[in-house]
Amino acid sequence: MPSPSTSPEETSRLAEALAPLRRTVVKAAAATAGFVGPLAAALPARTAPGTTAFLHGVASGDPLPDGVLLWTRVTPTPEAVPGSGLGPDVRVGWVLAADRAFTDVVAKGSVTASAATDHTVKADVRGLRPATDYWFRFTAGPAESPVARTRTAPAADAPVDHLRLGVVACANWEAGHFSAYRHLAARGDLDAWLHLGDYIYEFPTGQYTHRGTVVRPHSPAHEIVTLADYRVRHGTYKTDPDLQALHHTAPVVAIWDDHEFADNAWSGGAGNHTEGAEGSWTDRQAAAKQAYFEWMPVRPSTEGTTYRRLRFGTLADLSLLDLRTFRSEQAATGSGSVDDPGRTLTGRAQLDWLKAGLTASDTTWHLVGNSVMIAPFAVGSLSAALLRPLAELFGKPKEGLALNTDQWDGYTHDRRELLAHLRENGIRNTVFLTGDIHMAWANDVPFEATSYPGSGSAATEFVVTSITSDNLDDFVKAPEGTISAMAAPLIRAANKHVRWVDTDRHGYGVLDLDRERAQMDFYVLSDRRDPAASSSWARSYRTLNGSQRVERSKDPV
Protein backbone atom coordinates (compact mmCIF):
# COMPACT_ATOMS: atom_id res chain seq x y z
CA MET A 1 0.00 0.00 0.00
CA PRO A 2 1.52 3.39 -0.92
CA SER A 3 2.38 5.96 1.68
CA PRO A 4 1.09 9.53 1.35
CA SER A 5 4.53 10.48 -0.05
CA THR A 6 4.69 7.61 -2.56
CA SER A 7 2.53 7.71 -5.66
CA PRO A 8 0.88 4.56 -7.07
CA GLU A 9 3.13 4.88 -10.12
CA GLU A 10 6.25 4.99 -7.92
CA THR A 11 5.05 2.03 -5.88
CA SER A 12 4.46 0.05 -9.07
CA ARG A 13 7.91 0.93 -10.39
CA LEU A 14 9.52 -0.03 -7.11
CA ALA A 15 7.73 -3.37 -6.94
CA GLU A 16 8.76 -4.13 -10.53
CA ALA A 17 12.38 -3.11 -9.98
CA LEU A 18 12.70 -5.05 -6.78
CA ALA A 19 10.88 -8.21 -7.77
CA PRO A 20 14.17 -10.14 -8.00
CA LEU A 21 14.71 -9.51 -4.30
CA ARG A 22 12.13 -12.09 -3.42
CA ARG A 23 14.15 -15.08 -2.34
CA THR A 24 12.31 -17.54 -4.53
CA VAL A 25 13.50 -15.56 -7.56
CA VAL A 26 16.85 -14.40 -6.24
CA LYS A 27 18.04 -17.86 -5.27
CA ALA A 28 16.62 -19.77 -8.21
CA ALA A 29 17.59 -17.88 -10.95
CA ALA A 30 43.20 -1.30 -0.42
CA ALA A 31 45.44 -3.97 -1.97
CA THR A 32 46.68 -4.64 -5.47
CA ALA A 33 46.86 -7.80 -7.50
CA GLY A 34 50.47 -8.29 -6.37
CA PHE A 35 49.55 -8.97 -2.75
CA VAL A 36 48.92 -12.72 -2.95
CA GLY A 37 52.47 -13.51 -4.12
CA PRO A 38 54.24 -11.64 -1.29
CA LEU A 39 51.82 -13.07 1.26
CA ALA A 40 52.52 -16.62 0.09
CA ALA A 41 56.24 -15.94 0.35
CA ALA A 42 55.86 -14.51 3.85
CA LEU A 43 53.75 -17.47 5.02
CA PRO A 44 55.53 -20.52 3.58
CA ALA A 45 54.46 -24.14 3.79
CA ARG A 46 57.12 -26.83 3.46
CA THR A 47 56.06 -30.20 2.10
CA ALA A 48 58.31 -32.99 0.88
CA PRO A 49 57.11 -34.73 -2.31
CA GLY A 50 54.78 -37.64 -1.64
CA THR A 51 54.30 -36.82 2.05
CA THR A 52 51.61 -35.25 4.18
CA ALA A 53 50.47 -31.83 2.93
CA PHE A 54 48.54 -28.83 4.27
CA LEU A 55 46.55 -27.91 1.17
CA HIS A 56 43.69 -26.02 2.80
CA GLY A 57 45.63 -23.47 4.80
CA VAL A 58 45.23 -22.77 8.50
CA ALA A 59 42.78 -20.63 10.43
CA SER A 60 41.86 -19.35 13.86
CA GLY A 61 38.59 -18.21 15.36
CA ASP A 62 36.37 -17.31 18.31
CA PRO A 63 39.00 -15.27 20.21
CA LEU A 64 38.69 -15.15 24.00
CA PRO A 65 40.74 -13.07 26.47
CA ASP A 66 42.78 -16.15 27.37
CA GLY A 67 42.51 -18.28 24.25
CA VAL A 68 41.73 -18.89 20.62
CA LEU A 69 40.68 -21.83 18.46
CA LEU A 70 43.24 -23.04 15.89
CA TRP A 71 42.27 -25.09 12.80
CA THR A 72 43.77 -26.90 9.85
CA ARG A 73 43.14 -29.79 7.48
CA VAL A 74 45.89 -32.27 6.66
CA THR A 75 46.10 -34.48 3.56
CA PRO A 76 48.07 -37.54 4.74
CA THR A 77 48.09 -39.35 1.38
CA PRO A 78 47.16 -38.26 -2.15
CA GLU A 79 43.89 -40.22 -2.09
CA ALA A 80 42.77 -38.70 1.26
CA VAL A 81 40.91 -35.83 -0.37
CA PRO A 82 37.99 -34.10 1.39
CA GLY A 83 34.91 -36.29 1.64
CA SER A 84 36.70 -39.46 0.56
CA GLY A 85 36.75 -41.17 3.94
CA LEU A 86 40.21 -42.42 2.99
CA GLY A 87 43.62 -41.99 4.56
CA PRO A 88 45.37 -43.09 7.73
CA ASP A 89 45.34 -41.41 11.10
CA VAL A 90 48.17 -38.92 11.42
CA ARG A 91 49.56 -37.04 14.40
CA VAL A 92 49.47 -33.29 13.85
CA GLY A 93 51.52 -30.99 16.04
CA TRP A 94 50.75 -27.35 16.65
CA VAL A 95 52.83 -24.54 18.11
CA LEU A 96 51.90 -20.98 19.06
CA ALA A 97 54.45 -18.24 19.66
CA ALA A 98 54.59 -14.59 20.64
CA ASP A 99 56.71 -13.76 17.60
CA ARG A 100 56.67 -14.62 13.90
CA ALA A 101 60.09 -16.26 14.11
CA PHE A 102 58.86 -18.69 16.82
CA THR A 103 61.71 -17.86 19.19
CA ASP A 104 59.21 -17.26 22.01
CA VAL A 105 56.97 -20.34 22.03
CA VAL A 106 54.12 -20.00 24.54
CA ALA A 107 52.09 -23.16 23.85
CA LYS A 108 52.32 -26.36 21.84
CA GLY A 109 50.61 -29.72 21.56
CA SER A 110 49.36 -32.35 19.17
CA VAL A 111 46.11 -33.90 18.01
CA THR A 112 45.21 -36.84 15.78
CA ALA A 113 43.67 -36.20 12.36
CA SER A 114 41.53 -39.03 11.05
CA ALA A 115 38.98 -39.78 8.38
CA ALA A 116 36.27 -39.58 11.07
CA THR A 117 36.63 -35.78 11.03
CA ASP A 118 37.69 -35.56 7.36
CA HIS A 119 41.29 -35.06 8.60
CA THR A 120 40.43 -31.66 10.03
CA VAL A 121 41.84 -30.78 13.45
CA LYS A 122 41.28 -28.09 16.06
CA ALA A 123 43.25 -26.96 19.08
CA ASP A 124 41.43 -24.84 21.66
CA VAL A 125 44.42 -23.07 23.19
CA ARG A 126 44.01 -21.44 26.60
CA GLY A 127 46.25 -19.67 29.12
CA LEU A 128 47.14 -16.85 26.74
CA ARG A 129 47.49 -13.11 27.39
CA PRO A 130 44.54 -10.88 26.45
CA ALA A 131 44.66 -8.44 23.52
CA THR A 132 47.86 -10.02 22.21
CA ASP A 133 49.08 -11.02 18.74
CA TYR A 134 50.32 -14.60 18.34
CA TRP A 135 51.64 -16.68 15.45
CA PHE A 136 50.95 -20.37 14.91
CA ARG A 137 51.62 -23.29 12.58
CA PHE A 138 50.99 -27.01 12.31
CA THR A 139 53.35 -29.90 11.50
CA ALA A 140 52.86 -33.50 10.42
CA GLY A 141 56.07 -35.43 9.92
CA PRO A 142 58.35 -33.29 7.75
CA ALA A 143 55.47 -31.14 6.49
CA GLU A 144 54.88 -27.67 7.89
CA SER A 145 51.76 -25.59 7.39
CA PRO A 146 51.79 -21.90 6.54
CA VAL A 147 52.43 -19.54 9.44
CA ALA A 148 49.46 -17.43 10.49
CA ARG A 149 48.69 -14.58 12.85
CA THR A 150 45.90 -14.59 15.40
CA ARG A 151 44.86 -12.32 18.23
CA THR A 152 43.17 -12.79 21.59
CA ALA A 153 40.29 -10.64 22.80
CA PRO A 154 40.81 -7.99 25.47
CA ALA A 155 40.18 -8.86 29.10
CA ALA A 156 36.50 -8.63 30.00
CA ASP A 157 37.05 -5.64 32.29
CA ALA A 158 39.66 -3.88 30.13
CA PRO A 159 38.78 -0.26 29.24
CA VAL A 160 39.26 -0.84 25.51
CA ASP A 161 39.20 2.31 23.41
CA HIS A 162 39.15 0.82 19.91
CA LEU A 163 38.08 -2.28 17.94
CA ARG A 164 38.18 -2.97 14.21
CA LEU A 165 36.39 -5.87 12.49
CA GLY A 166 36.17 -6.92 8.86
CA VAL A 167 32.59 -7.81 7.91
CA VAL A 168 31.65 -10.10 4.99
CA ALA A 169 28.88 -12.37 3.69
CA CYS A 170 27.68 -14.34 0.68
CA ALA A 171 30.69 -15.73 -1.18
CA ASN A 172 29.54 -17.81 -4.14
CA TRP A 173 32.45 -19.72 -5.73
CA GLU A 174 30.83 -19.97 -9.17
CA ALA A 175 30.03 -16.25 -9.41
CA GLY A 176 33.55 -14.91 -9.11
CA HIS A 177 36.80 -14.65 -7.19
CA PHE A 178 37.13 -13.78 -3.53
CA SER A 179 39.15 -10.57 -3.86
CA ALA A 180 37.30 -9.05 -0.92
CA TYR A 181 39.11 -11.47 1.38
CA ARG A 182 42.47 -10.48 -0.11
CA HIS A 183 41.85 -6.78 0.44
CA LEU A 184 40.80 -7.33 4.04
CA ALA A 185 43.90 -9.44 4.62
CA ALA A 186 46.12 -6.72 3.16
CA ARG A 187 44.95 -4.16 5.71
CA GLY A 188 46.84 -5.80 8.56
CA ASP A 189 44.81 -3.86 11.15
CA LEU A 190 41.90 -6.17 11.98
CA ASP A 191 41.30 -7.45 15.50
CA ALA A 192 39.08 -10.12 13.92
CA TRP A 193 36.70 -10.58 11.00
CA LEU A 194 33.04 -11.45 11.05
CA HIS A 195 31.46 -13.80 8.50
CA LEU A 196 27.68 -13.40 8.55
CA GLY A 197 26.76 -16.50 6.58
CA ASP A 198 26.73 -18.16 3.16
CA TYR A 199 30.42 -19.01 3.50
CA ILE A 200 29.66 -21.77 0.97
CA TYR A 201 26.76 -22.40 -1.45
CA GLU A 202 25.03 -25.71 -1.94
CA PHE A 203 23.87 -25.37 -5.57
CA PRO A 204 25.01 -27.59 -8.45
CA THR A 205 27.28 -26.18 -11.12
CA GLY A 206 25.44 -23.75 -13.37
CA GLN A 207 22.41 -23.04 -11.19
CA TYR A 208 23.62 -19.92 -9.38
CA THR A 209 26.39 -18.10 -11.22
CA HIS A 210 27.67 -14.72 -12.47
CA ARG A 211 24.74 -13.38 -14.48
CA GLY A 212 24.18 -16.92 -15.77
CA THR A 213 27.85 -17.64 -16.48
CA VAL A 214 30.06 -19.96 -14.42
CA VAL A 215 33.28 -18.16 -13.51
CA ARG A 216 34.78 -21.29 -11.90
CA PRO A 217 32.89 -24.57 -11.45
CA HIS A 218 31.84 -26.02 -8.12
CA SER A 219 33.07 -29.34 -6.78
CA PRO A 220 31.21 -31.61 -6.57
CA ALA A 221 29.31 -30.59 -9.69
CA HIS A 222 25.98 -31.78 -8.28
CA GLU A 223 23.96 -30.18 -5.47
CA ILE A 224 25.47 -31.13 -2.12
CA VAL A 225 23.24 -33.36 0.00
CA THR A 226 25.37 -35.92 1.87
CA LEU A 227 28.10 -35.51 4.47
CA ALA A 228 30.72 -36.34 1.84
CA ASP A 229 29.23 -33.70 -0.47
CA TYR A 230 29.36 -30.96 2.15
CA ARG A 231 32.94 -31.90 3.03
CA VAL A 232 34.03 -31.70 -0.60
CA ARG A 233 32.38 -28.28 -1.04
CA HIS A 234 33.99 -26.88 2.13
CA GLY A 235 37.32 -28.26 0.96
CA THR A 236 36.95 -26.59 -2.42
CA TYR A 237 36.32 -23.18 -0.86
CA LYS A 238 39.27 -23.57 1.50
CA THR A 239 41.63 -23.84 -1.49
CA ASP A 240 40.89 -20.26 -2.51
CA PRO A 241 44.12 -18.26 -2.05
CA ASP A 242 42.36 -15.06 -0.98
CA LEU A 243 40.27 -16.86 1.62
CA GLN A 244 43.39 -18.58 2.93
CA ALA A 245 45.16 -15.20 3.06
CA LEU A 246 42.49 -13.69 5.30
CA HIS A 247 42.40 -16.74 7.56
CA HIS A 248 46.18 -16.35 7.89
CA THR A 249 45.99 -12.75 9.13
CA ALA A 250 43.24 -12.60 11.79
CA PRO A 251 40.75 -14.81 13.67
CA VAL A 252 37.30 -15.29 12.19
CA VAL A 253 33.99 -15.13 14.05
CA ALA A 254 31.40 -16.92 11.91
CA ILE A 255 27.70 -17.76 11.87
CA TRP A 256 25.81 -19.73 9.27
CA ASP A 257 22.88 -18.72 7.10
CA ASP A 258 20.88 -20.90 4.72
CA HIS A 259 23.39 -21.90 2.03
CA GLU A 260 25.58 -23.75 4.47
CA PHE A 261 22.50 -26.05 4.42
CA ALA A 262 20.12 -25.31 1.53
CA ASP A 263 18.36 -22.23 0.17
CA ASN A 264 15.68 -20.82 2.49
CA ALA A 265 16.37 -23.36 5.21
CA TRP A 266 14.08 -23.55 8.24
CA SER A 267 13.73 -25.98 11.14
CA GLY A 268 11.75 -28.58 9.19
CA GLY A 269 13.12 -28.26 5.67
CA ALA A 270 14.25 -25.81 2.99
CA GLY A 271 13.03 -24.26 -0.22
CA ASN A 272 15.85 -26.11 -1.97
CA HIS A 273 15.24 -29.52 -0.41
CA THR A 274 12.95 -32.23 -1.78
CA GLU A 275 12.08 -34.64 0.99
CA GLY A 276 12.61 -38.22 -0.09
CA ALA A 277 14.28 -37.53 -3.42
CA GLU A 278 17.12 -35.79 -1.58
CA GLY A 279 16.90 -37.89 1.56
CA SER A 280 15.45 -36.63 4.81
CA TRP A 281 15.92 -33.05 5.93
CA THR A 282 16.99 -34.26 9.36
CA ASP A 283 19.88 -36.22 7.85
CA ARG A 284 20.86 -33.45 5.44
CA GLN A 285 20.84 -30.80 8.17
CA ALA A 286 22.93 -33.02 10.46
CA ALA A 287 25.45 -33.64 7.66
CA ALA A 288 25.72 -29.93 6.90
CA LYS A 289 26.27 -29.08 10.56
CA GLN A 290 28.88 -31.78 11.02
CA ALA A 291 30.86 -30.62 7.99
CA TYR A 292 30.57 -26.98 9.09
CA PHE A 293 31.99 -27.61 12.54
CA GLU A 294 34.72 -29.83 11.07
CA TRP A 295 35.82 -27.24 8.55
CA MET A 296 35.29 -23.97 10.44
CA PRO A 297 37.23 -22.60 13.47
CA VAL A 298 33.96 -22.16 15.36
CA ARG A 299 33.03 -23.48 18.80
CA PRO A 300 29.61 -25.15 18.71
CA SER A 301 27.36 -23.83 21.45
CA THR A 302 23.99 -24.72 22.90
CA GLU A 303 22.27 -27.51 20.96
CA GLY A 304 25.07 -27.61 18.38
CA THR A 305 24.26 -24.22 16.88
CA THR A 306 26.21 -21.05 16.16
CA TYR A 307 24.51 -18.77 18.66
CA ARG A 308 27.00 -17.66 21.25
CA ARG A 309 28.51 -14.46 22.69
CA LEU A 310 31.98 -12.93 22.63
CA ARG A 311 33.23 -9.89 24.51
CA PHE A 312 35.84 -7.25 23.69
CA GLY A 313 36.61 -5.57 27.00
CA THR A 314 34.17 -2.92 28.16
CA LEU A 315 33.84 -1.53 24.63
CA ALA A 316 31.62 -4.16 22.98
CA ASP A 317 30.03 -7.54 23.23
CA LEU A 318 28.95 -9.53 20.19
CA SER A 319 25.85 -11.74 20.28
CA LEU A 320 25.91 -14.20 17.37
CA LEU A 321 22.62 -15.62 16.16
CA ASP A 322 21.49 -18.86 14.50
CA LEU A 323 18.44 -17.89 12.44
CA ARG A 324 18.00 -21.22 10.62
CA THR A 325 17.87 -24.05 13.15
CA PHE A 326 14.78 -22.97 15.08
CA ARG A 327 12.73 -20.88 12.66
CA SER A 328 9.22 -21.60 11.41
CA GLU A 329 8.68 -22.07 7.70
CA GLN A 330 8.68 -18.87 5.65
CA ALA A 331 5.30 -17.25 5.02
CA ALA A 332 4.00 -16.41 1.58
CA THR A 333 4.73 -12.87 0.43
CA GLY A 334 1.86 -10.59 1.38
CA SER A 335 0.42 -13.03 3.91
CA GLY A 336 -0.80 -11.71 7.24
CA SER A 337 0.68 -14.82 8.86
CA VAL A 338 3.96 -12.91 9.17
CA ASP A 339 2.37 -11.36 12.29
CA ASP A 340 1.36 -14.72 13.82
CA PRO A 341 2.78 -14.93 17.37
CA GLY A 342 2.98 -18.69 16.97
CA ARG A 343 5.66 -18.34 14.30
CA THR A 344 9.29 -17.70 15.22
CA LEU A 345 12.61 -16.81 13.61
CA THR A 346 14.85 -17.28 16.64
CA GLY A 347 13.11 -19.92 18.72
CA ARG A 348 12.05 -19.19 22.29
CA ALA A 349 15.29 -20.17 24.02
CA GLN A 350 17.51 -18.14 21.71
CA LEU A 351 15.33 -15.02 21.90
CA ASP A 352 15.30 -15.20 25.70
CA TRP A 353 19.09 -15.67 25.66
CA LEU A 354 19.53 -12.62 23.43
CA LYS A 355 17.24 -10.44 25.54
CA ALA A 356 18.93 -11.50 28.78
CA GLY A 357 22.37 -10.80 27.35
CA LEU A 358 21.39 -7.34 26.17
CA THR A 359 19.92 -6.52 29.57
CA ALA A 360 22.96 -7.72 31.49
CA SER A 361 25.54 -6.11 29.22
CA ASP A 362 27.72 -3.36 30.66
CA THR A 363 29.65 -2.63 27.45
CA THR A 364 29.38 0.60 25.46
CA TRP A 365 28.21 -1.18 22.31
CA HIS A 366 25.97 -4.22 21.89
CA LEU A 367 26.73 -5.82 18.53
CA VAL A 368 24.45 -8.50 17.10
CA GLY A 369 25.73 -10.81 14.36
CA ASN A 370 22.53 -11.22 12.39
CA SER A 371 22.29 -13.27 9.20
CA VAL A 372 19.08 -11.70 7.76
CA MET A 373 17.97 -8.06 7.79
CA ILE A 374 16.02 -6.89 10.81
CA ALA A 375 15.01 -3.42 9.60
CA PRO A 376 11.63 -3.50 7.84
CA PHE A 377 11.66 -3.41 4.06
CA ALA A 378 8.20 -2.82 2.63
CA VAL A 379 6.73 -1.47 -0.59
CA GLY A 380 4.85 1.53 0.73
CA SER A 381 2.76 1.85 3.84
CA LEU A 382 -0.13 3.87 5.15
CA SER A 383 -0.05 5.70 8.42
CA ALA A 384 -0.22 3.44 11.43
CA ALA A 385 -3.69 4.74 12.27
CA LEU A 386 -5.06 3.41 8.97
CA LEU A 387 -2.79 0.48 8.24
CA ARG A 388 -3.35 -1.61 11.35
CA PRO A 389 -7.18 -1.72 11.17
CA LEU A 390 -7.05 -2.49 7.46
CA ALA A 391 -4.44 -5.18 7.99
CA GLU A 392 -6.59 -6.81 10.66
CA LEU A 393 -9.62 -6.64 8.38
CA PHE A 394 -7.97 -8.11 5.30
CA GLY A 395 -5.40 -10.38 6.97
CA LYS A 396 -2.41 -8.50 5.55
CA PRO A 397 0.92 -7.63 7.22
CA LYS A 398 0.63 -4.81 9.73
CA GLU A 399 3.96 -3.22 8.83
CA GLY A 400 3.58 -2.85 5.06
CA LEU A 401 3.84 -5.35 2.23
CA ALA A 402 7.13 -7.16 2.90
CA LEU A 403 8.97 -8.41 -0.18
CA ASN A 404 11.24 -10.87 1.61
CA THR A 405 9.61 -13.00 4.29
CA ASP A 406 12.86 -14.91 4.81
CA GLN A 407 14.03 -11.86 6.81
CA TRP A 408 12.72 -10.59 10.15
CA ASP A 409 9.86 -9.10 8.07
CA GLY A 410 8.43 -12.61 7.92
CA TYR A 411 8.51 -12.99 11.71
CA THR A 412 7.28 -9.66 13.03
CA HIS A 413 6.23 -10.95 16.46
CA ASP A 414 9.84 -11.87 17.32
CA ARG A 415 11.00 -8.47 16.10
CA ARG A 416 8.37 -6.54 18.06
CA GLU A 417 9.20 -8.50 21.23
CA LEU A 418 12.92 -7.80 20.87
CA LEU A 419 12.51 -4.10 20.10
CA ALA A 420 10.01 -3.68 22.94
CA HIS A 421 12.58 -5.25 25.25
CA LEU A 422 15.14 -2.66 24.19
CA ARG A 423 12.69 0.15 24.90
CA GLU A 424 11.39 -1.17 28.22
CA ASN A 425 14.89 -1.73 29.58
CA GLY A 426 16.42 1.47 28.25
CA ILE A 427 19.01 -0.46 26.22
CA ARG A 428 20.88 1.80 23.84
CA ASN A 429 23.72 1.39 21.34
CA THR A 430 22.52 -1.90 19.86
CA VAL A 431 24.00 -2.36 16.38
CA PHE A 432 22.89 -5.20 14.10
CA LEU A 433 25.51 -6.45 11.61
CA THR A 434 23.83 -8.24 8.73
CA GLY A 435 24.45 -10.04 5.43
CA ASP A 436 22.23 -12.21 3.18
CA ILE A 437 20.47 -9.69 0.95
CA HIS A 438 23.39 -9.01 -1.47
CA MET A 439 23.13 -5.23 -1.03
CA ALA A 440 24.68 -2.63 1.25
CA TRP A 441 22.36 -0.80 3.66
CA ALA A 442 22.60 1.67 6.53
CA ASN A 443 19.36 1.54 8.55
CA ASP A 444 17.69 2.82 11.62
CA VAL A 445 15.63 0.02 13.20
CA PRO A 446 12.30 1.68 14.04
CA PHE A 447 9.97 0.70 16.85
CA GLU A 448 7.10 1.25 14.38
CA ALA A 449 8.01 1.43 10.70
CA THR A 450 4.61 2.78 9.70
CA SER A 451 4.91 5.84 11.93
CA TYR A 452 8.65 6.44 11.67
CA PRO A 453 10.37 8.81 12.45
CA GLY A 454 7.79 9.82 15.02
CA SER A 455 7.92 6.43 16.75
CA GLY A 456 11.69 6.59 17.20
CA SER A 457 14.52 4.15 16.57
CA ALA A 458 15.34 1.13 18.75
CA ALA A 459 18.72 0.32 17.23
CA THR A 460 20.81 0.68 14.07
CA GLU A 461 21.84 -1.77 11.38
CA PHE A 462 24.68 -2.04 8.89
CA VAL A 463 24.16 -4.57 6.08
CA VAL A 464 27.11 -5.65 3.94
CA THR A 465 26.68 -6.61 0.31
CA SER A 466 27.75 -9.92 -1.20
CA ILE A 467 31.33 -10.81 -2.00
CA THR A 468 30.31 -12.43 -5.30
CA SER A 469 26.65 -13.53 -5.21
CA ASP A 470 24.39 -11.82 -7.77
CA ASN A 471 22.60 -8.69 -6.64
CA LEU A 472 19.83 -6.64 -8.19
CA ASP A 473 21.54 -5.31 -11.32
CA ASP A 474 22.90 -8.81 -12.02
CA PHE A 475 19.45 -10.36 -12.05
CA VAL A 476 18.11 -7.85 -14.55
CA LYS A 477 21.46 -7.82 -16.40
CA ALA A 478 21.76 -4.05 -16.29
CA PRO A 479 24.99 -2.01 -16.15
CA GLU A 480 26.28 -1.71 -12.60
CA GLY A 481 24.82 1.30 -10.81
CA THR A 482 21.85 1.90 -13.08
CA ILE A 483 19.33 -0.08 -11.03
CA SER A 484 20.54 1.39 -7.76
CA ALA A 485 20.18 4.91 -9.14
CA MET A 486 16.52 4.22 -9.84
CA ALA A 487 15.60 1.93 -6.96
CA ALA A 488 17.42 3.55 -4.02
CA PRO A 489 15.30 6.76 -3.95
CA LEU A 490 12.10 4.70 -4.16
CA ILE A 491 13.23 2.33 -1.42
CA ARG A 492 14.01 5.27 0.85
CA ALA A 493 10.70 7.00 0.02
CA ALA A 494 8.78 3.89 1.10
CA ASN A 495 11.07 3.11 4.08
CA LYS A 496 11.91 6.32 5.95
CA HIS A 497 14.32 4.51 8.29
CA VAL A 498 16.62 3.50 5.42
CA ARG A 499 19.47 6.00 5.29
CA TRP A 500 21.33 4.47 2.35
CA VAL A 501 21.13 1.45 0.07
CA ASP A 502 23.33 0.28 -2.80
CA THR A 503 21.56 -2.51 -4.68
CA ASP A 504 24.22 -3.19 -7.30
CA ARG A 505 27.80 -3.57 -6.14
CA HIS A 506 29.89 -6.30 -4.49
CA GLY A 507 32.34 -5.85 -1.66
CA TYR A 508 32.80 -5.88 2.10
CA GLY A 509 32.71 -3.72 5.22
CA VAL A 510 35.05 -2.60 7.97
CA LEU A 511 33.43 -1.82 11.32
CA ASP A 512 35.39 0.60 13.50
CA LEU A 513 34.35 1.14 17.12
CA ASP A 514 35.43 3.62 19.74
CA ARG A 515 33.67 5.08 22.77
CA GLU A 516 32.00 7.81 20.74
CA ARG A 517 30.76 6.06 17.60
CA ALA A 518 30.33 2.84 15.64
CA GLN A 519 31.26 3.38 11.99
CA MET A 520 30.92 1.06 9.00
CA ASP A 521 33.11 1.76 6.00
CA PHE A 522 31.69 0.16 2.85
CA TYR A 523 34.14 -0.97 0.13
CA VAL A 524 33.35 -2.17 -3.39
CA LEU A 525 35.23 -4.37 -5.88
CA SER A 526 36.07 -3.44 -9.46
CA ASP A 527 35.09 -6.79 -11.03
CA ARG A 528 34.30 -10.01 -9.16
CA ARG A 529 35.29 -12.04 -12.23
CA ASP A 530 38.85 -10.72 -12.02
CA PRO A 531 41.11 -12.51 -9.51
CA ALA A 532 43.17 -9.28 -9.34
CA ALA A 533 40.14 -7.02 -8.76
CA SER A 534 40.83 -3.70 -7.09
CA SER A 535 38.95 -2.31 -4.11
CA SER A 536 37.71 1.22 -3.46
CA TRP A 537 35.90 2.99 -0.66
CA ALA A 538 32.23 3.69 -1.41
CA ARG A 539 30.53 5.20 1.66
CA SER A 540 30.79 5.40 5.44
CA TYR A 541 27.94 5.55 7.94
CA ARG A 542 28.06 5.78 11.71
CA THR A 543 25.90 5.89 14.78
CA LEU A 544 26.94 8.05 17.70
CA ASN A 545 26.94 6.83 21.28
CA GLY A 546 23.36 7.14 22.53
CA SER A 547 21.84 8.43 19.29
CA GLN A 548 20.08 5.28 17.96
CA ARG A 549 20.28 6.86 14.49
CA VAL A 550 22.53 6.37 11.47
CA GLU A 551 24.28 9.32 9.84
CA ARG A 552 26.72 9.64 6.99
CA SER A 553 30.42 10.00 7.74
CA LYS A 554 32.56 11.74 5.14
CA ASP A 555 35.70 9.66 5.47
CA PRO A 556 36.70 6.05 6.14
CA VAL A 557 38.76 5.34 9.24
Span 178-227, pLDDT tens digits: 999 999 999 999 999 999 999 999 999 999 999 999 999 999 999 999 99
Kindly report which listed range (236-250, 290-304, 356-370) carries the lowest average pLDDT score. Answer: 290-304
Kindly report which listed range (29-43, 151-165, 204-218, 356-370) carries the lowest average pLDDT score. Answer: 29-43
Span 208-219, pLDDT tens digits: 999 999 999 999
| Residue 476: predicted pLDDT | 83
| Residue 84: predicted pLDDT | 97
Q: Which amino acid is located at 282 in the chain?
A: T
Confidence of residue 99 (pLDDT cuts 50, 70, 90): very high
CATH code assigned to 45-146 = 2.60.40.380
CA–CA separation, 251 vs 439, rounded Å?
25
Question: Domain 8-29+153-553 - what CATH class?
Answer: alpha beta
* Rounded average pLDDT over 229-240: 98
Residue 392 contacts by C-beta under 8 Å, 6 or more apart in sequence? Answer: 398
CA–CA separation, 113 vs 119, rounded Å?
5
Instruction: Using the predicted structure, report yes or no on whether residue 390 has a pLDDT greater than 80.
Output: no
Span 256-285, pLDDT tens digits: 999 999 999 999 999 999 999 999 999 999
| Residue 176: predicted pLDDT | 97
Instruction: Using the predicted structure, report yes or no on whether residue 8 has a pLDDT greater than 50.
Output: no
Q: Do residues 151 and 165 lie in contact, with contact meaning Cβ atoms separated by under 8 Å?
A: no
Q: Do residues 497 and 376 lie in contact, with contact meaning Cβ atoms separated by under 8 Å?
A: yes
| Residue 493: predicted pLDDT | 87
Peptide bond into 154 cis (omega under 30): no
| Local structure of residue 211 (DSSP, 8 states) | T
* Domain parsing of the chain, residue ranges: 8-29+153-553, 45-146
Neighbouring C-beta atoms of residue 267, cutoff 10 Å: 14
Instruction: Using the predicted structure, report yes or no on whether residue 389 has a pLDDT greater than 70.
Output: no
Structure-model confidence comparison of residues 344 and 17, the more confident one = 344
CA–CA separation, 134 vs 136, rounded Å?
7
Confidence of residue 403 (pLDDT cuts 50, 70, 90): confident
Size (the chain), residues: 557
- Which of 368, 318, 316 lies closest to 346 in space, CA to CA? 368
What are the helix and strand counts (H, E) for the chain? 12, 24
* Rounded average pLDDT over 451-474: 95
From residue 80, give the alpha-carbon distance in Å to each of 51, 71, 85, 87, 341.
12, 18, 7, 5, 49
| Residue 33: predicted pLDDT | 30
CA–CA separation, 174 vs 221, rounded Å?
11
Furthest CA-CA distance within the chain: 74
* Rounded average pLDDT over 137-155: 97
Q: What is the percent of the chain where pLDDT is above 70? A: 87
For residue 126, count CB atoms less than 10 angstroms from its CB and return exposed for 0-12, middle for 13-18, buried for 19 or more. exposed
Confidence of residue 31 (pLDDT cuts 50, 70, 90): very low
| Local structure of residue 294 (DSSP, 8 states) | H
CA–CA separation, 132 vs 151, rounded Å?
5
Q: What is the percent of the chain where pLDDT is above 90? A: 79
For residue 142, count CB atoms less than 10 angstroms from its CB and return exposed for 0-12, middle for 13-18, buried for 19 or more. exposed
Span 309-364, pLDDT tens digits: 999 999 999 999 999 999 999 998 777 789 999 999 999 999 999 999 999 999 99
- Bridge partners of residue 551, in order along the sequence: 542
Instruction: Using the predicted structure, report yes or no on whether residue 404 has a pLDDT greater than 70.
Output: yes
Q: Output the DSSP codes for 121-144.
A: EEEEE-SPPTT-EEEEEEEETTEE
| Residue 300: predicted pLDDT | 80
Instruction: Using the predicted structure, report yes or no on whether residue 251 has a pLDDT greater than 90.
Output: yes
- Which of 535, 505, 411, 407 lies closest to 461 in space, CA to CA? 407
